[in-house]
Structure 1
C-alpha cells in the first residue's frame, strides 16, 4: 500500500469535482467547522483500507492545526474579504481573488502532505474492512458534534 501525498492530492481533487461533493464539503466546513482535507482523507484512507479512530483523528488534526490556522484560514479570510470589496474594480477584484485562491490551494496541498505523513505514522499497515462512515463518525465524536439527518445527508453526498 502506497500512501503518498501526490496520490492523495490527485484523488481528492478528482473526488472534490464530483457532483455535490464540493457543496457537502463546504457546508461541513462552514456550518460545522470540519476540515475539508481531513474529510477527503477519510474517504481516500478508506479506499486504502484504513479506518481512523478518534485518537488518530485527534493526532492528525493536531499535526495540521498550526499550519491550517496560520496559513489556510488566513488566506481564506482574505479571499472572502476580497469578494466583499465592492470599492475595488471588478477585474482587479477577480484577479486578486484568483491569486488568493491559488495561494489557498497551495497551502491546502501542503496541509494534505502533513496529513498523509501522519497517516503513514499512524497506519503503517493496511487494515481490513475500513469504512469511511466509521471514520467520519469518529471525527464527529472527537469534536462532540451530534449526528443529525443534515450531517448524514452531507456525508452521503461526500461519499
Structure 2
C-alpha cells in the first residue's frame, strides 16, 4: 500500500528536529520546499508513478542551490544504491505500518500510535537525507560557481531519473520543471 506522508499530517516536527540525527540544512531546505502545494503534488506524482525517491529529487535541487557541480548518472546511481536498504527496509516499512494503523483505527490509542509512526517516518526520512550527504562525501563532490543553478538542478534530476532507468511521460516532465522553478523562486 502506497501512502503519502507529509509535514502537513499533524506531525510533531519539533521532535524530529531535536533528534540525535546530525542537523543539516538540506533537511530545512527540503521541508520548506516540499510544503509548497505545487511541489508537493509534483513530488507525489513522481514518487507514485515512477517510484522516484523524493529525498534524492530534493537533494538535486539543494545541491544546485549550494553550487555543487553536476552529479553524473553514475553518481546518482551510487547515491540511490547507498540509501536503498534504508529506504526500502525502514522508510517504506514505517509507511506500511502507518497505512495499516490508519486503516484499522479503533480509537484514540491507534490514532496516537499512528501519529507516533508519522513522527518516526519523518525521523527516518531525515536520517535518509543524512545518508545521502554521506554518499556525496564519499563521491568527493566539489562546488562549481560557473553554471546556472537552475540548469544544474535540472541536469541532476534528469541524471537521477536516467540512473533509475525511468522514462517520464511528457506531461510529467512539467512537474520536474515546476519543482526546480519553485526551488529558485
Q: Under TM normalisation by the shorter chain, which class is it? A: 0.7 to 0.9
Give the equivalent residue in structure 1 for 2:85.
Answer: 66
How large is the Cα RMSD of the aligned pairs? 1.8
Deviations 1:20-60 (A, max 9, x none): 11121122112110001101101101111222211000110
Unaligned runs of 5+ in 2: 1-21, 181-185
- 1:152 equivalent in structure 2: 173
Deviation, structure 1 residue 5: 5.6
Quick check: 1:100 aligned with 2:117?
yes
Normalised to the residue count of structure 2, the TM-score between the two structures is 0.76
Are the aligned partners of 2:77 and 2:164 in contact in 1 as well (CA < 8 Å)? no
- Show the counterpart of 1:19: 37
Match of 2:99 in 1: 80
1:133 aligns with 2:154: yes
Question: What TM-score do the two structures reach when normalised by structure 1?
Answer: 0.88
Equivalence map 1:22-41=2 (5 Å): 22-41=40-59
Q: Do residues 55 (structure 1) and 74 (structure 2) align?
A: yes
Tell me, which stretches of 5 or more residues in structure 1 are unaligned? none
Contact kept, 8 Å, 2:154 with 2:177, in 1: the verdict is no
1:8 equivalent to 2:26? Answer: yes
Q: Measure how far apart 1:6 and its partner are.
A: 0.9
Cα distance in 1 for partners of 2:141, 2:161 equals 24
Match of 2:136 in 1: 119
The list of structure 1 runs, each at least 4 consecutive aligned residues, that deviate by more than 3 angstroms after superposition, is none
1:22, 1:10 → 2: CA distance? 15
Within 2, Cα distance between the matches of 1:5 and 1:155? Answer: 27
What is aligned with 1:110? Answer: 127
Secondary structure (helix, strand or coil) at the match of 1:147 reads coil
